[in-house]
Every structure is written in C-alpha cells, then in structure tokens.
Structure 1
Amino acid sequence: MNIKKNAFLLGLIHFLSEFRLYAAVAVLYFTEISGSMMLGMGVFSVAMLSGAVLELPTGILSDLVGRRRTIVLGAAASLISIMLYSVGKGILWLMAAAVFEGLSQALFSGNNEAFLYGHLKSAGREEEYKAFLGKILSMAHIALSVSALIGSLMLIFGTYAMLFRLSIIPRALGLAAALFPDEPETTDRDRKSPWHHLRESLWEVCRNSKLLRIFIADSLSDGAGEAAYQFRASFLKMVWPVWAIGLAGTLGDVLAAFSFWISERWIDRKGYKGVILVSFQIFGVVSLAIYMNLFKTDEV
C-alpha cells in the first residue's frame, strides 16, 4: 500500500474540489439569479444546514461502504452541485445545488481524515498524521487563492455564470481522481458496527467537557466566519470594481495555505491549545479591523 500515492491523490482531490473560480463573487451571482440579497445569502444557509443535518448519516454510510467509495460519492455530489449552480434559472435550482454542496461537504467531512489516518495506521506511522494532514489541507487553500486570482482577472471580460461553468472542469477531474486511491486496511475495531462507532463517539463527546467545548466553539466559529466571508463581496462591490473583489481573499488563502503547510512545526512547538488560541486572537484582530473600516465607510 503506497501511502505517498494515496496522500497525493487525497491532496489532489482537495485541490480540485476547492478550485472555485466563483468563490469570491458567489453571493453576487446568487443575488442576481434570485433577485434578493436575502435569498442569495439563503443559498449558503441551505448548504451549511444540509451539511450539518447530513453529517451523521454520511458518517454511518462511510463505515458501511468504505472510505474510498465515500470520497467518490462526495466528489460526485460536488460535481452535481456545480452543474446545478451553473444552470442559473432560478432560486429552486440554486437551493437544489446547495443541498448537493452540503451533501458533498458532509461526505468529505471526517471521512477523508479517517481515510488518511487508516493508511498511516496500517503502516505504523500514525505520528505523521498531522504533517500529512496539514499539507493536504493546504492544497485546498492553494486552490482557493489561485482560483480567486484567476477568477478575478476573468471577470474583466466575462460574467459570473461563466466562472461557474468553467468550475465544472476541476470538479469533473476531481471525480476522476477519486477513483484511484486504495481503500485503507481495516482492523478488528474498524469492522465493528457503525452504530457501535456512533455510540462511542457520542459517549466521548458527552463525557469529555473539553471536547464538547471545542465542538461548540468550532461550530460557532465556522458558521459566523463562513457567513462573513460570503457577505464580504456585497460590501466590497460598493467600493471596489467587481473584478478586484477576488484579490481580497487571495492573500488570506495564501497565508492559510502556508500556515497549514507548517502546522506540524507550530503544533510541536506551541501545542494544540496554543495554536488554537493564537488563531482565535488573529481572527478577532482582523474582524475588529474590518468592522472599524466598515463604520468609517458609513460615516463618509
């Protein structure tokens, strides 16, 4: 079993699934199609809600059909999602696309990490998990930074719809790449019923107060952070040309990719808790700076 090959393919799948030429201006496209800013933001809400609701059943499915097949299903759902977004005929199409996007996120969530850990565990290299995972996750932010830059430049001559249609290509390539990884070897514990795994997971969360607090904080942070990120384009459109909106996120994704790439060293040096605290402090400072600039703009 070739760990490097499977890790490379997993990183490639992350890269292709996050190569979103439209990412920086998606809310503007949704608002244009639906005719309402509220409905445009509602598309993101449906995607996040469906992902949260489907998190549990897709986890059970992953145990039943295997990690590799779940990756294939996630890539297929991602492709269907972008194809439905590209149709652009009304809010119902957008909402259907959002459901498939949430399904894709739920299928990938946890499963891809378990896929990687399973391969490392079978080779007795579990201690390298954070190093591999950091580099794989950095590929997603590299894709976001590169695609945001390219998408911004393409908007000089193109349209929002064009960015969505061209984004079908990397999703299709991602589905093709998902067919090649090997299934991790299973242990006796892995062969237990998925309901047994579910009971174990719920018990661990309930009895471990620290794990529960981390879960709640992570959920709140992701929800608020995603909403702020998606709404940013509507604000920037008032002060920047549309083609330049994507440039605002490019630097952030570049820095995120770099931080994931070196995350193993930071974790070894500062510990998990130290890295989490620093990340929240940086997020708070950046958010405060954005709000202060927003109020200054309103005063002008």
Structure 2
Amino acid sequence: MKNNILNHNLIRLYILKVSHWFMLVMPIVVLFYKENGLNVSQVFILQSVYSLSIVLLEIPSGYFADALGRKNTIFIGAVLGFIGFAIYSISYGFWGFLMAEVVLGFGQSMISGADSALLYDSLVDAKQQDRYIKHEGRMTSIGNFAEASAGILGGLLAAVSIRYPYYGQTLVALLAVPAAFTLIEPKTEHNRLELGWKQIVDVVRFALVKNLRLRWNILLSSVVGASTLTMAWFVQPWLIRADTPVEAYGAIWTALNLLVGVAAMFAYRVELKLGRIRTTGVLILFLFLGFIMAGFIRSYWAMPFIVIFYLARGVATPILKDSINRIAPAPMRATILSVRNFIIRIIFSVWGPFYGWLTDRWSLTVALTTAGFIFIILSILTFIVLFKVERED
C-alpha cells in the first residue's frame, strides 16, 4: 500500500515538475521583453521582484506545508502559477509584467520546499529514503528535459508571434492544478508543527543558528543555487552579444537543459565516485569558470565553458539538497528547504539588478566576471567553514 502511495505521488510530482519546467517562454523571454520596450536593467528588476515575492512567503509557506500539509500548499501554488501566466499573456508593458511576476513568485513560494519535502516523506513512508538523491535527480532531469523540449516548441511559436509562447504557457500551468489536487499526504510518523510565528522563528533559528552543519550546508547550497539562477538570466544577453540568429535560441536552450537533465540523472554516481566534499569543490570550480570564460570570450568558443557550467548545475542540485535533507528533522523539513530557497532569492534580489546595471552601464563582460568573482569568494568561504564543521562534528 505504501509503495502504491509512493508511485501515486511520484507520477503527480513528475507532472508538477513538467508543468513548472515546460517553459515555452524561456528561450525568447528577453526578446519578448525587448519587443515590449524593456532594457536589461528592467529585465533584472522584474526577476528581482519575482525573487522578492518568493522571499515574502518562502519561509511561511514552507512552515504552512509542515503545519497544514504539503499537498495543500502545493495546490495553492499551482493555482497561483496558472493565474500569473494568464496575467502575463494579456499584459504589454513593465507594470503588467510586474504584477504577473508577483503572483508567480507567490505561487512558486508555496510549492518550493513542499514538493521536495513531500517526495522525501513519501520515500520515508515506503522505507526508501536512501533513494532520495536518485529520485531528486530524476525529478531534476525530468524538469530539464521538459524545459529542453519546450525550448524547441517555444521557438517555433515565437516565430509566428512573440506572444504565442505565453498563451501556451498558461495552458501548461493549468495542468499542475489537478495534479496537485490529487496528491496524497504521506502518513509519516512525525507530528505536524503548530501554527504560529514563534514556531516559524524557532525553526529558522534552529536551521541557521543552533545547528552548525545545517547552517553551512544551507548557505553553500544557497550560494550555488543563486549562481546558477544568475547564469540562466545571462545566457540570452550573451547569445544576443554573439549575434545568434533568433531561430537558434530554442535549439541552444534545449541543448543546455538536456545537459542539466543528463547530469542530474547521474549525480548520485558522481558523488559515489568522488565523495561529497570533492564533488562540491569541483562543482564550485566549474561554475566559476563558466562565468569568467563567458565574460571574456565573446565568440562561440565560450560555449564549452557554458556547457560545463550547466553540467555542474545538474549535478549540484540533487546532491546539495540531499545534504540538507539528511540533517533536517522530519517535522520541519519543508520549512528548512524553504529557508534555503529564501536565501537563494535574497542573494539574487540583491545582486541581480546590480548585474543588470553593470551590463547596461559598462558591458556584459564586466557583469559576468563580477558575478563570477562574487560567487567564488562566497562559495569558497562557505565551503571552507562547512568542511571544518563536518570534520569537527
């Protein structure tokens, strides 16, 4: 019976992942913004607002998932995701896009953390928690394969009209609603948290103050997550600088996300071969090289380094999430994962508009190399402290 519940939830979590990552709009989103009169600074401002919208509800939504159930918060997030893209599809300027980003941010915050927690609890319920990295890797792979497939279709739709991908995206977001509604809450042995702001503060204090291993695992995962999010928004300006034909955007976006999906699928094997500490160190180096080489090389000779960056991104997500899940107590797992996502969005919200300003005021090279050095400094500092804490524990 418990295996049936696990399989039932896995199917719906796959549907939710596909719905969330089948992004018809991503290959042409910067072109769409330019078509509607926005500059690079405004693009990063919109994404910063999206991140801040997530931040406002990120930790409370994770706590609601722990207190009220993962399924309920995921369902609310799916509904808000549909509404957000519906607003986008009928908007034609900065303020309409801003409203859509706020709604999408709220929706994402309701799902973020709750989905991974529900997956982990479903595995615990079926006594298969040791397979979390494998399943999380598959979830990441499915998401990136979906995004890759959407890149081709999105490019074709954009060739007809730059707005068609947004109409299609609204329909895709609608698919998540029935999938979320039919999830089954796992009957794990832990008790749900009580509702209250004091309890939320207690969980955050536990994650970032009391438990040193958890704190530094969260911070390292957040720095890496923010760096990959930043690069995702640099790729299209880089393609524009390289005079890439519009019809090639979908194919390139597809290829990059296929690489992430393949890497995520084999992340657990990489960790088994190299070990967690060594794997993390290699990932940090590859991500740094991606920023620096994409910044200095204006031609397609930089593409191999962007490829390496995306491969590292695929391996990093399931491994770093698993590190947190192994330490996080079951009753507060969704809240703790939301703390991680909260910090990712805070980092991006602070630095994103600055990178956009550097691009408009100076150059894409300056922005990319600055992002790379900020990342390497933050990641090395957190990595060193984490290594020290892990050895002393």
Q: TM-score, normalised by structure 2?
A: 0.69
- For the Cα contact (< 8 Å) 1:154–1:243, is it kept in 2? no
User: How far apart are 1:103 and its partner, in Å?
Assistant: 1.5
- Equivalent position of 1:266 in the other structure: 270
The match for 2:52 among 34, 39, 49 is 49
**Partner Cα separation in structure 1 for residue 275 and residue 106 of structure 2:** 33
Q: Distance in 1 between matches of 2:229 and 2:164?
A: 24
2:263 counterpart letter in structure 1: S
Residue 65 (structure 2) aligns with = 62
Aligned pairs (5 A) from 1:246-285: 246-285=250-289
Compute the displacement of 1:19 (Å): 0.5
CA contact (8 A) 1:46 1:99 kept: yes
Deviation at 1:80, TM superposition (A): 1.2
Q: Which moved more, 1:62-71 or 1:140-149?
A: 62-71
Q: Deviations over 1:94-152 (max 9, x none)?
A: 11111122112211221111101111112222212222211112111111111112222
Instruction: Sort the Cα spacing of 1:211 and 1:34 in 2 relative to 1 into closer, same or farther, 3 A.
Output: farther
Shift of 1:253: 1.0
Partner of 1:241: 245
Match of 2:180 among 158, 178, 181: 178
Deviations 1:149-168 (A, max 9, x none): 2222333x322211111111
Q: Is the 8 A contact 1:72 1:178 kept in 2?
A: yes
CA 193–34 in structure 1, closer or farther in 2 if over 3 Å, else same: farther
Deviations 1:24-71 (A, max 9, x none): 221222233254332222111111121122211111221232111111
Q: 1:111/1:198 Cα in 2 relative to 1: closer, same or farther (>3 Å)?
A: farther
* Residues 22 and 160 in structure 1, CA contact (< 8 A), matched pair in contact too: no
* CA distance in structure 2 between the aligned counterparts of 1:249 and 1:214, rounded to whole angstroms: 30
| 2:84 alignment partner, one of 72, 77, 81 | 81
Q: Gaps spanning 5+ residues in structure 2: where?
A: 303-362, 364-393
Provide the residue aligned with 2:193 in structure 1.
192
Aligned to 1:167, what secondary structure does the other structure show? helix
Shift in Å, 1:215: 2.8
State the Cα distance separating 1:18 from its structure 2 match: 0.9
Give distance in 2, aligned partners of 1:26 and 1:265.
34
Letter in 1 for 2:58: E
1:112 aligns with 2:115: yes
Name whichever of 269-278 and 120-129 sits farther off: 269-278
**SS in structure 2 at match of 1:216:** helix
Counterpart of 2:182, as a letter, is F
Alignment equivalent of 1:90, drawn from 66, 87, 93: 93
CA contact (8 A) 1:15 1:143 kept: yes
Deviation at 1:23, TM superposition (A): 0.5
Residue 289 (structure 1) aligns with = 293
Q: Provide the aligned length of Structure 1 versus Structure 2.
A: 296
Structure 1 residues 74 and 274, CA, compared in 2 at 3 Å: closer, same or farther?
Answer: farther
C-alpha distance in 1 between matches for 2:92 and 2:274 = 50
* Other structure's SS at 1:289 match: helix
Task: Supply the distance in 2 between the matched residues of 1:203 and 1:64 (Cα, whole angstroms).
Answer: 17
Q: Which moved more, 1:245-254 or 1:176-185?
A: 245-254
From 138, 145, 148, the equivalent of 2:151 is 148
Give the drift of 1:282: 1.9
Displacement of 1:208 in angstroms is 3.7
Structure 1 residue runs without a partner (length 5+) = none
Counterparts in 2 of 1:274 and 1:252: CA distance versus 1, 3 Å: farther
- What is aligned with 2:218? 215
CA shift in 2, pair 1:222/1:125, >3 Å? closer
Q: Which residue pairs with 1:39 in the alignment?
A: 42
Read off the aligned partner of 2:180 and give its amino acid letter: A
Residue 111 of structure 2 is aligned to residue 71 of structure 1: no
Q: Normalising by structure 1, report the TM-score.
A: 0.89
Contact 1:28 1:40 in 2 (8 A): no
Residue 198 of structure 1 deviates from its aligned partner by 5.2
Kept in 2: contact 1:7–1:136 (CA 8 A): no
Deviation of 1:210 after TM superposition, in Å, equals 4.3
- Equivalent position amino acid for 1:30 in 2: Y
User: Could you say what the CA RMSD is over the residues aligned between the two structures, in angstroms?
Assistant: 2.4
Aligned equivalents of 2:25, 2:204: Cα separation in 1: 36
Contact 1:140 1:257 in 2 (8 A): yes
Deviation at 1:197, TM superposition (A): 6.6
Alpha carbons 1:134, 1:262 under 8 Å: kept:
yes
> Counterpart in 2 of 1:169?
171
**Which of residues 9, 14, 34 is equivalent to 2:12?**
9
